[in-house]
Structure formats: C-alpha cells, structure tokens
Amino acid sequence: MSKNPIYLDYNATAPIHREVIDVVTSIMSTVGNASSVHAAGREARRHIDTARDEVAALVGALAENVIFTSGGTEANNLALRGFGDRRLIVSSVEHGAILAPAMLTDPGVEIIPVDGDGMIDLPALEAALARADKPALVSIMLANNETGAVQPLSEIARLAHAHDALVHTDAVQAAGKIPLDINALGVDMLTLSAHKLGGPQGVGALILREDRLVTAQVVGGGQERGRRSGTENVAGIAGFGEAARVARSHLPSYQRLAALRDDLERRVKAVAPGVKVLSEGIDRLPNTSCLTMPGVKSETQVMLFDLAGIAISAGSACSSGKVTASHVLEAMGMPEDEGMTAIRVSLGWHTTSADIDRFVDVWSDIYNRNGDRADAA
C-alpha cells in the first residue's frame, strides 16, 4: 500500500474533526448521568443541551424539536413508525434505512419511480397521494448517497401537504455539504447522522419542524421528552454537536469541492470516452461522483484502488462489505452489467488537487490494464 493513503469515501464515513475528538475525550474523562440532579448530572445535561442547540442551528430548527437517537437508521425508523397508522410513500432510490422499515411497517408501501438522472417522478407522487386510502407519510431523501442527486424537496413538500400528508427527508448525506433549512424545505421532519459530518459513529437525530406527538419506538426511562428512551450517550451527543458547529462554519468552503469533482470527471472521460457519470446534468452534492469504468467490475476497481492506497466505494457502504448491483442505478434504468462497473468517489475537507491527480493516474492505469479498450476506439 502507498505510504500516503488518500481517503475518497466521505459519503460512507467522514474523518472525525480534531475539535470533536477533543470534546469527546474530555467528556469521557468525567462522570455523570444527564438524568441526575447533582452537579455531575447537571453538567452532563449542559453538554447535551449545548449539542441540541448546535444540531438545531445546522438545519434552522428549534432545539426542543431535536430527538437524539443511536444514528440515522434509528431516526428513520422513528420517522416512519412514530406518527400513527399512515400510508407510506417512498422513492425507489432511498437508502435501505428507509426502504427496509417502510416495507416492514406498511406492506402496501407505494414506491415512486425516478428518471434516468435519479429525480423523483412528481406526477407519480401526486397520483399516489391522491389515491391513498388514509393519511400518508412521504419519505424522500434530500441527496442520494450514491449519485449525489439533490431532490426538489420544497416541491415534494408542497404536493404532499396539499393532500394532508406528512413529509420526512433523510438528509444524512446533504448535511454539512449544502445549506439546509428545515423551514425553507417545508418538510415536517428530517434525519441527520453525526458520522457523516465529522462526528462520532453511533449518534443521530430526528428533527421536527414543529412540535408533534411522537410515538416512541424505544421506551423505558422517558428520556428525550418521552420520545426516545435510554440513558443519553453524553460524549457522543456532545461530539455530534461539535461536528454540527464545525460543519456550519465550514459550509462555504465545501463548495470548492465541485471544481475538484468536475476536474476528476473531465479527465477520466478524456481517458475513456465511454465513461458515464450518473446524475451529471442535474443539481448534485459538490463532493460526489458516481462513474463507470467500461469493462471493469466495481469490485475489482475498489480492490485495485485500495492496493494503490486510495479508498473509494461501490454504491452504499451499508451492505456488510458486499459489492452487489445497486438498486439506485437499477431504478435509474442503468443495465445491470453497466451498473456493476460504477464506483462512488466522495471528496471532503482534506481532499486536494494532488489527490485528484493521483486518483486519475490510478484510474487510468486500472482502465488501461483491465478496461474495455474497444470503448475508446
């Protein structure tokens, strides 16, 4: 392996900020249960309250409407199950953390198709809302974890609210990469996850736009105002808050990554004109590129890049390390054999132009040794 590894898998997990490590380790050297009334307990509560303020500020919400959870998956489950018996409507490109609980909660869940760019079919959504036989809950991700495609959430919310539906968005990938305002989006709730922001793993939140009755899915001690029981992970939550603060302050500089991403895509297409960049022509996260390498399987690419000291991924990183055909690319109409040549490259705050140079060099070498040279003819 190279002596200077390059990490280009920020959409899987971002490196933890130094400031976050300092906060977490400092709190872990103390003791205190946030439900206790003595000084140590009050100090633990203060850390949680500070974090709640910072996480709320990241998305323009009120602090009292932040429900801390064990991560994005639990927050998504709470969103789908915590607001009564509703017809569930989701898109075909949702993360498994939405699709799996949606299908389990509502066997008749409506799955809305997307076009070739991964954008939701708005007429199909409106038709599904119109035929719902009971109040609906719509869950559409803000930004896709594989392609970076950004959905028109404001329009989705407008359509859904016209039919008295609630709207949830999994904003895990978008947070810290593009500006987020829960009120401007018009959604009723959104999900965040700390480890996508440079915070610790195992901490997330469901954030409400306005106070609503939530049926807790984890019950016991009554924490989080009775909406999610369990002794709070004080150090993790504090780290989440610090990560949210850092992400908010660094948001303007994150946009520079779009130029690096575009340069990467331009240069690999010059090597192999048959390269396809998914969702290339629409609004995408500035750090995300999903692209094919003609004739070379995704699994092979991931392995060879890893041997060269570059970390990338093939689709989602939440499939037990297995590289399988992407349901996202399939939903976008990409043939399976072509979809199996796609990788995801996701940049971040440590990414430099030199990293892009090295990526392109390695990409070119892998393609020249293993790719479909007829494609370049």
Pairing status of strand 310-311 against strand 6-7:
parallel
Could you give the residue ranges of the DSSP H alpha helices within the chain?
A: 18-28, 39-59, 72-81, 96-105, 122-131, 153-162, 182-185, 234-254, 257-271, 298-307, 327-331, 336-339, 353-370
What CA–CA distance (Å, rounded) separates 135 from 165?
6
Q: Which of 318, 338, 350, 357 is catalytic?
A: 318
Distance of CA 61 to CAs 48, 186, 209, 245, 350, Å? 16, 12, 6, 14, 29
Q: Comparing C-alpha atoms, which of 210, 197, 187, 174 is closest to residue 286?
A: 174
Contact 227, 216 (CB under 8 A): yes
DSSP string over 324-342: ---HHHHHTT--HHHHTTE
Kindly report the number of other CB atoms within 10 A of residue 157's CB atom: 21
Determine the straight-line distance between the first and last CA of the chain, rounded to whole angstroms. 33
User: Does the annotation count 318 as an active-site position?
Assistant: yes
Report residue 35 as tokens.
Answer: 């439900």
Catalytic center residues: 318
